[in-house]
């Protein structure tokens, strides 16, 4: 059995040899797949200590986009059973080609977001939340209370009760987080400075060809990328192969 404090999550992580993955790991200062730590990426006009501070929160999670948010395993479920279920899930779901990413402000932080809506990506995330929920232990009351203190809409409250997290299903917004929350002036200044860095990495459509299982040993530890799982070929690509 796994440690009682361990949590798991199913994330999208860019391909390990891609410029986007290398940028994200360097920017956040950590590679969750190999456990490597990096000094803050230099950015002209910004203090290295400040950059390290504003990336501290996303650094714990590693560069990713959330599909199924962090959860503890339900009693009686083993990590091996979860891993096998994630592998089956991915093998049964087609890859998704989403619009190119763009640098945006989202709820006070900076993130990379698809430039337009992508129903197929939203559907993949919803299926991930729903079909793997049998492995999730109920969220602790303290965690639910903390979520509620942030102020939830009736829809978000319903989702919190059903899935243990308020920003799934119709509230889901695919994003790869780059910073913690910033004041408006700092956020805009950093966005303008980062745009020339990330734009060349995001010109092509985003091919979501696999998902990854992450694990956090305990609440004070960073998440680790345990394993990557390929999605099935997208229907158009599969048809071209035949």
Which domains are assigned to the chain? 7-139+173-235 (3.90.1140.10)
Q: Is the pLDDT of residue 217 over 90?
A: yes
Catalogue the E-assigned strands of the chain: 7-12, 30-31, 36-37, 65-71, 96-98, 101-106, 109-114, 176-177, 206-208, 210-216, 224-230
Mean pLDDT of 44-63: 96
Angle between helix 141-149 and 154-163 (nearest 10): 160
Q: Is the pLDDT of residue 239 over 50?
A: no
Any idea which residue has 């979520």 for tokens?
Answer: 147
Q: Is the pLDDT of residue 5 over 90?
A: no
Mean pLDDT of 7-17: 98
Mean pLDDT of 52-62: 96
Cα distance from N-terminal residue to C-terminal residue, the chain: 43
Beta bridge partners of 227: 213
Any idea which residue has 């809409």 for tokens?
Answer: 153
Q: Which residue has the higher pLDDT, 141 or 236?
A: 141
- Rounded to 5 degrees, φ, ψ at 147 are -65, -40
pLDDT of residue 241: 37
Could you give the dihedral angle defined by the CA atoms of residues 156, 176, 231 and 122, in that order, rounded to the nearest 10 degrees?
Answer: 30
Taking only the tens place, the pLDDT of each residue in 148-194 is: 988 899 999 999 999 999 999 999 999 999 999 999 999 999 999 99
Name which of 24, 214, 181 is nearest 108 in CA terms.
Answer: 181
**What tokens does 70 get?**
């962090």
Mean pLDDT, all residues of the chain:
94
Taking only the tens place, the pLDDT of each residue in 70-100 is: 999 999 999 999 999 999 999 999 999 999 9
pLDDT of residue 240: 41
pLDDT of residue 242: 41
**What tokens does 94 get?**
């087609």
Residues above pLDDT 90, as percent of the chain: 86
pLDDT of residue 48: 94
Name which of 27, 55, 38, 61 is nearest 194 in CA terms.
Answer: 27
* 3-class secondary-structure state, position 65: strand
CA separation for the pair 79, 135 (Å, rounded): 9
CA separation for the pair 156, 133 (Å, rounded): 17
Q: Is the pLDDT of residue 16 over 60?
A: yes
């Amino acid at each position: 059995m796994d440690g009682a404090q361990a949590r798991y999550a199913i994330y999208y992580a860019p391909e390990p040899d891609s410029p986007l993955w290398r940028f994200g790991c360097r920017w956040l200062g950590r590679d969750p797949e190999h456990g490597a730590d990096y000094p803050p990426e230099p950015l002209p006009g910004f203090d290295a200590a400040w950059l390290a501070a504003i990336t501290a929160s996303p650094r714990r999670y590693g560069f990713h986009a959330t599909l199924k948010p962090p959860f503890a395993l339900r009693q009686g479920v083993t990590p091996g059973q979860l891993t096998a279920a994630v592998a089956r899930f991915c093998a049964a779901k087609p890859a998704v080609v989403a619009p190119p990413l763009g640098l945006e402000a989202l709820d006070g932080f900076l993130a990379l977001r698809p430039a337009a809506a992508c129903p197929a990506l939203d559907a993949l995330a919803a299926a991930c939340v729903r079909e793997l929920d049998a492995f999730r232990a109920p969220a602790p009351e303290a965690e639910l209370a903390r979520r509620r203190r942030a102020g939830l809409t009736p829809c978000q409250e319903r989702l919190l009760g059903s899935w243990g997290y308020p920003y799934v299903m119709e509230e889901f917004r695919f994003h790869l987080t780059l910073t913690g929350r910033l004041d408006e002036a700092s956020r805009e200044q950093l966005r303008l400075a980062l745009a020339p860095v990330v734009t060349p990495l995001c010109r092509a459509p985003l091919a979501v060809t696999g998902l990854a299982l992450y694990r956090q040993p305990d609440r004070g530890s960073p998440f680790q990328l345990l394993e990557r799982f390929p999605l099935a070929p997208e229907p158009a690509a599969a048809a071209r192969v035949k």
